[in-house]
Structures are given as C-alpha cells and as structure tokens.
Structure 1
Amino acid sequence: MSKKQIQTNSRKVPRKKRRRISPFLVILCFILSIASLALVGYLVFQLFQLDMFPLTLLIPVVSVVILLTLMIILFANFKCRRKVSKVFMTLLLAALTTGYGFGNYYVYGLTNLFNEVTNLTDKIAHRINVYALNGSGIEDIEDLDGQTVGLVLSLNEEGIQRCLNDLESQDISIETNEYYTLSDLLYGFYNGQVDSIILDETYENDIHEMGGDYTNFGVATQSIYQTVYYTERSTSQDESLNRVSSIVTDPFTVLISGNDSYGSLNENSRSDVNMLVTINPTTHTVLMTSLPRDLYVSITCPSGVQACPEDSLNKLTHTGQYGVEATDETIENLLGITVNYTVRVNFSSLVNLVDAVDGIDVYVEEGLEVDTFYANGTEGVKEGWNHLEGERALAYARERYAYVDGDAQRVKNQQQVLEALINKIASPSMLLNFGDFIDALGGAFETNMPADQIRSFIRYEFAMMPEWKFENFTISGSVSTEFCTIQGDYASVMIPYVEYLDAATEKIQAVLDGESSESIEEPSTDPYQLTLWDFSEYSDTGDVYGGSASIYGQDPYALYGDTTYGY
C-alpha cells in the first residue's frame, strides 16, 4: 500500500456538530417543571382535603402520578442532551401543567359545589305580575291608569297587596274587581269584564293545564308590571332533624321534589315530581315510591310559613308553593313515615344533568309509544330502547296526556329516568364527562343532606362498587273533582286508595329493615276491592265561599264546562 493511501485511510471523519439547545428552551422547561410540580402538589392537597375518594384508591393513584411527574421533570432537565428530545419533553411538561391546572379547577369547583347545594338559601323570591291581553292596547304601566284590574286575594293576598301599593306609589289609579276563584278571574279577563289581572306567577302552569283558550295563556298575554319581594325561608327542618348517623351504614329515605319551573331554585313552585327514595346501603336496595302530583291530601304547614292553609285539602303538587318543607311534612303525615333528607330540583336541573352525561337510555314497552311529547313539542319515543337528550328526557318525565293511565304512567316514566340517570353516573363513561357533569351540578339541586355525608357516600360507591337493586312502587287512587283551598276552586284530583297508602308505608319499612319491598303483597288493581281515603275529617273547604266555588252562584261546570277544571 502506498504512503499516500495510508495517509488517506488514516484521516479522521469529522463528526456532526450537536445542535446547541437554546437558553430559552432550557429556561421554559425549568419554569414548566416548577409549575407542574406546584400544581400537582396543590392537586394532591385538594384531593385529600375533599375527602371524597377512599384512601385505598387515592394513595396508589396519587403515588403513581407524583412518581411519574418527578421522573419526567428529572429527565427533561438533566438527561435531555438533544434539541429534539428537549422540545418533546418541554411539550409534555406543558401538557402536564395544563392538565394539573384543569384538575385543580374541577376539584376546587367540586368543593364549592358541596357547599352550594347543602347551604339552602334563606330567602324565597315571590313574583306578582300584572297581565294584559296582547292587542288590548295596554303595553306598560302607564296604560293601566284608569283601567279595571281583576284579582283573587286568596291567591297570595300579601303579594297582591304589595303590587297594589307599588302601583299606587307610582300614581297609577286603578279600579279593582275582586273574584273568588281563579276560573272566575280568567273568565272575566278573557271576556272583557276587566282590562288586566294581578296574579302570582306560580299560577301560570295551573292556567296552562286548565285547557281550552287558557292553554296558550303565556302567548296570549304579557306581563306589563312585576312586583318582586322576598320572605324568610322556613327553618322547620333543623340541622339535626331526622338525620341518620351515617348514610353508608344506616338506611334512610330521601324526598326528591321536582319543581315545575326553570332557572333559579330560590323560588317556590308547584312540586310536579314527588318521589321517596329509600336506600339501604347494607342490602344495596333502592326503593322508589312515587306519589302522583294530583294526590288529594291534607296540607301540613311548616312553622313560620304564613298564609299556608293548615289541614286543608289540596293537590300534593301545590304544597310546593309553600316550600319543599311543606311537601315533606305533608307526605310524612300522610304515610306515617320519616323523611330523613330532601333534594329539590327543577326542569333546568334535569335537562342539564342528562346533557352532561351525554343522554340516557330508556326502554319503552309495547303500546307506550309517543309520536310527539305534549309537554314541549319535542320528538316522542318508539317501542324499544330510546336514547334521550336533556329536553326529551324532561318531556318523557312530564308526559301524561299521551297515556291512557295519565299521571300513573308519568310517575313510572319518572322512576325510569331517575334509574337511567343513576346508572349513567355510575358507569365508566362518566370519566369522560366528569368536567361537564360537575359544571351541570352547580345550581342544579339543593339538599339538606350535609356535605360530609354526601362525600362519604361517594367514597362508599368508589370503594365498594355495589350492584344496586332498584324496586318501584306507585301510590294509586281514583280520579275525582274536589275543592282545593289554594286555588279556591274545584279541580281534578286523585283520591288515594287506603290500601296503596298502607302498602307504601309497609314497603318503605321493609327496605329500612333490610328486606325487599317485594316481600309486601301488592294491593289489588280492582277498584271495587279498594277503599278510598276518607278526607271528611279535614276542613270542609267546600263551604269557604258559601258552598259554591263560583261567585256567580252557579254550578261551575254549567258555567264553564268540564275542561275548565282540569288543572
């Protein structure tokens, strides 16, 4: 080999220069490492402070997260020598920092949520409206001057008087025409006897259900003036009243009261859904006992609630106008049971919660198909499985006109919706929708169950993952037309069968005692073998206005027709 060849072969091959990592990238990686470490530390602190997850689950998960975070930080800052790997690890740290930031946000929101739903508002809002017919020429408060205004003082005398005083303070001179019943008031309003009416806003849904021309009351009229005032909320449900020591060991009963309104929960409204949920955490049994909204009952008034007609006969739904406490105490007296906790929701609650879990699935039996829901005009349901989003789930839970059994079928639908929602919340898919679900829970409901009890039940669910057995029962009765003091009028009601009231009480007690409610014999479905509840011992409300519900001294059915009294 020549000398020239040897020199050529021995020549060193130059190595590629390693690209220098920019100081900016190094500093950014360090800052993200500090931020990530701080956020994961605060997240762990919040999770332990929240006290919602069992330690057997929380400690391993937290340990793995902290270990992985430390490994990533060490590798990103001390082991990455190449620019590409440094960029990748910096992006990974940015993702971790963002994730921990969102985690802290949701855990903080969850902590506030418990405080929000368990701290019941101490004020209740009341809204009194002055309604005028569209096209009547009365568009604002000044147009009321010199006009005739109809009112029914028994439908919230305090609120109506406040509204009259407000009008007087603004130099609006009106002539009032007082009626005795809601039906009489509307008849005079629609037939030109008065130019406008003053009415508590809570009666709008009553009017809607009266049928005929009144169905479109909200469209045919407009509110030209509103008086809003606040009253103290009843404090009859003391913090220690009826509570169990631990809801993960002791059986308990919860009243779910669903208001027929949207928006805020700081207003009283009719209790359209009345469901007792009896839970035995030892036997993993859940009994849902539904009470139809039209059930004819004697009202039990909470202490401190003014104008509540104690021991008078009304629909159960109207007890909600005096607060969930009135509904609670009325049901307790009717069935002779103890309600340990109450949960109050409204239309907005159900829509938001169902949407937050990406809808629920319900099974519709043959013959129960609905083309279009009467409640809100949305698409109905077909035979078999149906996936319902929020508005359709609400319509399904409210529908009664499409069914032969009416209100009886509606309460079955409500039980079905609640069970489907509970199953969806307990499913693994909730992990993907957890953030939306927490957002939807805010303002969705209120309860007198302490926050620590709720957290303990969630810990129990995570730790035990029990397979709950759902059982159902619905109180039944006979449809009748009776006088209701709250409306000062006759209305279509359901007089309960004594056998169904007794069965409800016994089934609830069976679950509390660790047995199945199915161990209690079902009442007969033959009305001839059943006994109607005797309400004669209560107030003779039919004589309130001299034995007639009409100020005209006529039979109300002869005056208006049957459809007027369908609310």
Structure 2
Amino acid sequence: MRKNNVQDTARKRSVKRRKMSPLLKLLCFILSVASLGLVAFLGFQLFKLDMLPLTLLLPILFVVVLITLLIIVFSNFKCRKNVSKLIMTIVLAALTAAYGLGNYYVYGLSNLFNEVTNLTDKVVNKVNVYALAGSSMASASDLKGKTLGIVAGLDEQGTNRCIEDLNKEDVQIETVEYNTLSDLLYGLFNEQVDGIILNETYENDIHEQGDYTNFGVMTKRVYESVYYTDRSTSQSESLNAVDSITTTPFTILISGNDSYGSLAQTSRSDVNMLVTIDPSNHRVLMTSLPRDLYVPIACPEGAEDCPDDTLNKLTHTGQYGVEATDETIEKALDITVNYTVRVNFSSLVNLVDAVGGIDVYVEEGLEVDTFYANGTEGVQAGWNHLDGERALAFARERHAYIDGDAQRVKNQQIVLEALINKVISPSMIINFGSFIDALGGAFETNMPADQIRSFIRYQFAMMPKWNFESFTILGLVSTEYCTIQGDYASVMIPYEEYLETAKEKIDAVLSGKSSDTIDAPTSDTSLLTLRDYSEYQDQPSTYENSMPDTTYQEPIQDDTQDWQVDDSQQYDDYVPYQEEPVQDDGNMYDPNADMSQGYY
C-alpha cells in the first residue's frame, strides 16, 4: 500500500513536470538553434571582414563556439528541473542577443569602410543673399528691384549662379560691384546697398575682421542658392599610394574643416596636420602647419575659379577641396602625401564622446579658465579629462596663449595622440559599439578599405607601442594680400629653416630614422630667413606686421537692370530655393549663447 502511494506521488510529480516543461523545452530549443546560427554567421562576417589576424580570430571563434555548444548541451539534455531549465534558457537568450548585437556591429563596420573610402563625386556649394538684421526683406520676392553688392573677383561662379536662380524665380535685381570683401561689407553696413551676395564659406573670414565679428547677429540670410560641382578625381584615389601601409612608411594629411555637419560642403581647412608613420619602427611624426601659413596655392585639375600659384592663407585652400590643400602642402614642403583624411568639428566631438572622453596633460602656465571657442570649462595644469565639446574647444583655443596659433597646433597634436591612445586601449572593448556608430560619416579618406583593415589587423597582431614625435612650422605674423579672399588678411609668412626642417624630419621617418635626429631651427628669430616670395611681383606684399593702406574705393555701379547670364552654362543637380524660414545651422556667430557658436 505504501509502495503504491509513493508511486502515485512520483507519477503526479512527473505529470506536473511534463505539464510545465514543454514550453521551456521549446523555447530552449529555439534559442539554441538561433544562437548556433548567429555565432556561425558572426564567424563568417569576421572572416569576410578580414580585420583580425587568423592567429587571434581562430582561437577566439573556437572558444566562443565551444562555450556555446556546452551551454546548448547542458540546457537541452542535462537540465531536469524547471528552475535550472529556466535559468539556462535565460543564459541562452542573453547569449543569442549578444551574438545578434555582435553581428550588427560587424556588419556596420564592414559598411563603414565602404562609406569612408567611397567619396561622393559632388561638392555642395551655398551662396546667400545677406541683408541687415533690421531689414524688412524676408524672402526671394522681397528682393525684386533691390540693389545687391558683389565682388566680381570673389567666387564669380557662385555669384552668377545665385543671380541666375533669382532670375528663374522672376526676381530682377541691380548690382553694385566692389573691389574687396572689406569694401563690400562697408557698403552693406553703411546702407549703400540693400544686401550683398556672398558664398557662405566667406562668413568665417568676416568673423575674423574686428569690425564685423558680430556679422551673424547683425545680418540675416534672405535667400540661399545651392548648387553642386564635380569633385576632383584626384581625391577619389591616391596617386601616391604605397603597396602596404603595414610595411612601408607613409604620410597622411589630416585636414579639418571649420564646420559642423556634412563633410560634403565646401569649407576652409582650419586644421592641417601631416602624420608620417613608420610601421616597422613604430614611429609616428605629427607635423602641424598653421592655418594662416602664407603659401602659393596649387589648384587641382578641374577646380573652378581657383587662383593657381598665387599667395594665400593655407586655410583658404579648403574652399577648393582637400586635394587643393594636399597639393599646396606638397608644393610648399617639396614632399609627397600618400593619403588624405578629411574631418570637421562634428567628427571630433562625436569620436571623443564615443570613446568615453580623452585625457590630456597641460603644462604649468598653459591653464585656461574658459575656452573662447564655445565658452566651456577650460583646463588646469596637470591631467584633464575632456568630453567631445571641451576637446574641440581645447584644439581650437588660441586667444588664451601668448604663442597663439603655435600653441593651438600643439594642442591639436595632443588631442590626436590622446584619441589614438584611447582607441588602442583595452577600454575600447566597452566603447566599441558607440565608437563604430560615431565613425559613420565622421571622416572621408582616399586610403583603400583593404589597407585600413590590414593596418587594424597589424595592430591587433603586433600590439606595437607607438612612439609619437611632433614638429610645428613657425613664421612671422604679418598682413598680406590673399587672392582667394580678395583682400588683406593676417597671415604667417613661414621661416625657410622651418620648412626645410619639416621636410628633413619627414624624410628621416620615411627612411626608418627618428625625426629627433634632425635638429630644430634656432629659437632666435632674428637669425631666421623668411620664405622669399619676391617672384610674385604682381601680388601686393608688405612683409610688415601692420595693415597697409586700404583706402575705401567707391563701388562701380552696374547700370544694367538685369544681370546677364550665359544660358549655355549648365549646372548639375539644381536645387530650387524653397521659401522657408532660414534655419540656423550652427555656423553663425551668436554672442548671446555664451560663445557656443563663436568663431575666431
């Protein structure tokens, strides 16, 4: 009797277990199949990505697959109780989710390489009609019969395009021609004209002129003309590519646009740094060129209205694409740049935030209470942890330093080194996902995707300790005529000895030596020689640290009522103007926003 009771109890428990376990069994089975499929697909994607060395990839995959199989076997065949089955089902669910996330990021990384190395073939150009902030004009229709100032030699193509677009909207205007940008602004603010036509890229030049620092607040955009031009084919692939960047030393130009948002829009090259890498000896030489460096521009093939072989600030070359900056630097230093990388303000902010911030060391005497660029908290002597916005402000700061632009380029080198060290640190395991997301759209390069992957594979396989070296080109601050700006501007005329030393240091690293084997020029500027530009006889030059006489010139009145446009001139991808309120894109100066949109 007792035996029967025991058997009945066992049967009831067994029935109870059978009633509760089928759902868990089914769920466990589904998750097992899903996890196996996802881990197999992850392995396939990693092999296809070809970013990790096989000596590292194979052991990792072996361990992952082995652990997955053990969990699946234990979950499906060893768990006899519902509690243990439930626990292992949760473990399988977490494992499946992790493999799914891993596949997502690997897929995104694969697309990223194609995105950053597949440059668009069009460049966005924006030409605006500006009026005084208090003007009643608000749209294209308000411009009918108005008088607009222009500078004929300043972006003639863009000016013509803007007037053509106005004509298409049945808006006829009169034009008044000025000789320089300064004269144009004088005419606007003294109400000689109702408004002015100007390429948006020149806003930054205006903000640097003391009398018009508040240009963004004192004016408003009444009309915007957008058109596209072909990007130079020289940027799509490097003509100076090396066979393998893991064995052959090479030089990259990192060019930073002074803008936020899309990289497709033309903008000045505010940051220009040559990074020469010797992979065999694990050396990285960072050579900074100040944005105001006064050099002859080298125009790439197909660049419209580019004043080839005339003297300009290096930053202005960016208005004709990174290839113009590249070729200008090659000409100035007599070197070869193998690849280019193009970034902007948004790139740095997003990347620094994605890696959890960077740590920079500030020497005594270089403390900053508040950054001028965006009004954020400054830095103290010693180590400082910076988020994206503070890192950008630190890289842009110059007003707080006696050395001005010279210290700014040193800060840029510090930021780059700190970012590289953070990317190759173990903490990147935690931040890998956000970093991959931030990389999308953060930069453009003409370095092939397979070369980038091979260099990452080299880093994982060798884990080299990189030795960073740096050099900055210096010169004399002066006021000289810049043909692109069509006016006089503050520039830095380079010292000949610094240009020669920069070339020698780059050549040293390329030949397997340390750049420190090349002595830096004397610190006594009285013993240095300025780069001789006397051959440019037809371009005004003062070589003095003072503003030359720029007496205001009366504008040339255009008596024609309608601007005559050559109908044969064709523009691709015409974007008609939409009469909508002009949105502040963040590139306009606003002193009421704690300098958060400041220019300098």
Q: Same fold by TM-score, threshold 0.5 exceeded?
A: yes
Match of 1:27 in 2: 26
Match of 1:352 in 2: 350
Structure 1 gaps of 5+ residues are 1-6, 555-565
1:552 aligns to 2:543 (yes or no):
no
Distance 1:37 1:12, change over 3 A: closer
1 or 2 for the larger relative contact order (CA 8 Å, sep ≥6)? 2
Q: What are the Cα deviations for residues 513-541 of structure 1, in whole angstroms up to 9, with x where unaligned?
A: 11111110110111110000001113622
1:183-332 matches, within 5 Å, as 183-212=182-211, 214-237=212-235, 239=237, 241-332=239-330
8 A Cα contact 1:208 1:216, kept in partner: yes
8 A Cα contact 2:124 2:228, kept in partner: yes
Match of 1:375 in 2: 373
Structure 2 gaps of 5+ residues are 542-547, 556-598
Match of 2:403 in 1: 405
Match of 2:52 in 1: 53
1:226 alignment partner, SS class: strand
Q: What are the Cα deviations for residues 460-511 of structure 1, in whole angstroms up to 9, with x where unaligned?
A: 1001110000001000000111100001100110000000000000000111
Q: What are the Cα deviations for residues 19-58 of structure 1, in whole angstroms up to 9, with x where unaligned?
A: 3333222222111111111111111000000000011110
Distance 1:539 1:229, change over 3 A: farther
Match of 1:537 in 2: 535
1:416 alignment partner, SS class: helix
Match of 2:471 in 1: 473
Q: Distance in 2 between matches of 1:489 and 1:227?
A: 24
Q: Distance in 2 between matches of 1:336 and 1:406?
A: 27
Q: Distance in 2 between matches of 1:89 and 1:10?
A: 35
What letter is aligned with 1:474?
Answer: T
Structure 1 residue 271 displacement after superposition:
0.3
2:530 alignment partner, SS class: coil
What letter is aligned with 2:154?
Answer: L
> More deviation in 287-296 or 20-29?
20-29
Q: What are the Cα deviations for residues 145-191 of structure 1, in whole angstroms up to 9, with x where unaligned?
A: 22211111222111111111111222222221111111111111111
> More deviation in 413-422 or 31-40?
31-40
> More deviation in 327-336 or 238-247?
238-247
Structure 1 residue 202 displacement after superposition:
0.5
2:182 alignment partner, SS class: helix
8 A Cα contact 1:298 1:538, kept in partner: no
Structure 1 residue 432 displacement after superposition:
0.3
> More deviation in 216-225 or 420-429?
216-225
Structure 1 residue 8 displacement after superposition:
8.9
**Where has structure 1 moved over 4 Å in runs of 4 or more?**
7-16, 547-551
Match of 2:71 in 1: 72
8 A Cα contact 1:122 1:232, kept in partner: yes
8 A Cα contact 1:476 1:500, kept in partner: yes
Q: What are the Cα deviations for residues 223-280 of structure 1, in whole angstroms up to 9, with x where unaligned?
A: 1211100011011257351111100000000000000011111112100001000000
What letter is aligned with 2:368?
Answer: V
2:326 alignment partner, SS class: helix
Q: Distance in 2 between matches of 1:146 and 1:433?
A: 57
Q: Distance in 2 between matches of 1:313 and 1:60?
A: 58
Q: Distance in 2 between matches of 1:548 and 1:179?
A: 17
2:406 alignment partner, SS class: helix
> More deviation in 276-285 or 148-157?
148-157
Q: Distance in 2 between matches of 1:451 and 1:170?
A: 45
1:423-462 matches, within 5 Å, as 423-462=421-460
What letter is aligned with 2:122?
Answer: K
Q: How well do the aligned residues superpose, as a CA RMSD in angstroms?
A: 2.0
2:98 alignment partner, SS class: helix
Q: Distance in 1 between matches of 2:108 and 2:2?
A: 72
Distance 1:550 1:264, change over 3 A: farther
8 A Cα contact 2:179 2:553, kept in partner: no
Aligned residue among 13, 17, 20 for 1:17: 13
8 A Cα contact 1:542 1:548, kept in partner: no
1:22 alignment partner, SS class: helix
8 A Cα contact 1:179 1:551, kept in partner: no
Distance 1:394 1:82, change over 3 A: same
Q: What are the Cα deviations for residues 403-446 of structure 1, in whole angstroms up to 9, with x where unaligned?
A: 11110000000000000000000110010000000000000000
1:541 alignment partner, SS class: coil
Q: Distance in 2 between matches of 1:328 and 1:433?
A: 33
1:389-400 matches, within 5 Å, as 389-400=387-398
Q: Distance in 2 between matches of 1:75 and 1:11?
A: 33
What letter is aligned with 2:553?
Answer: Y
Match of 1:339 in 2: 337
Q: Distance in 2 between matches of 1:465 and 1:169?
A: 60
Q: What are the Cα deviations for residues 57-91 of structure 1, in whole angstroms up to 9, with x where unaligned?
A: 10000011111111211222222221111111111
- The alignment-based identity, stated in percent, is 71
2:365 alignment partner, SS class: coil
Distance 1:525 1:105, change over 3 A: same
Q: Distance in 1 between matches of 2:339 and 2:102?
A: 31
1:509-520 matches, within 5 Å, as 509-520=507-518
Match of 2:583 in 1: none
Distance 1:178 1:501, change over 3 A: same
Distance 1:405 1:553, change over 3 A: farther
8 A Cα contact 1:335 1:504, kept in partner: yes
Q: Distance in 2 between matches of 1:321 and 1:257?
A: 12
What letter is aligned with 2:37?
Answer: A
